[in-house]
Amino acid sequence: MADNMAAMLMAKMRGGRTQREDDAEPATTDPTTLALLRQARGDTDYSYVHEANAKGQTEFRAAVQKRARELQSQHGLSYSFAEARALRELGEERRATVERDRRRASYDQMVKNNREEMADNSTAALRERTREATRQRREKADADLVAKLRAITGAHR
């Protein structure tokens, strides 16, 4: 048993197939399961993502070159310094924009959640339940106060 296990481990380490793997039948899947698996995986063609990335990079490079030319003409910098400064400035602007958008999305989600919670709390039935609970608490507090006053005044007689 140990020899067989050692042989299987060595075969796996060397990238070879074991006897047990050779004996096993290849797994077959019925057509319905295959269709469901393909549908679950979704679209596996990501060429549109690559195209969008390439387009974004091209636009960014064009913006960097434009900003570098502007900096060169305004400040008399050499092109390499102007390009480095343009890259830095555009990167900072992009990060600031992303951060601002992220914060805005968080704020909008928070406002939406608060409105949903307040909508639940602003129903007529809830207001009525709150009034009733408040009335009951006040009546109990009044009854307790009366009982305490009676106990105090009764103790002094």
10-23, pLDDT tens digit by residue?
887 777 665 555 55
What's this model's pTM, rounded to 2 decimal places?
A: 0.45
CA distance 144 to 157: 20
Q: How many CB atoms lie within 10 A of CB 9?
A: 11
pLDDT digits (tens, 9 = 90+) for 32-62: 887 777 777 776 677 888 899 999 999 999 9
For residue 72, give the nearest of 81, 60, 64, 63 by alpha carbon: 81
Contacts of 83 (CB under 8 A, 6+ apart): 64, 65, 68
CA distance 90 to 54: 17
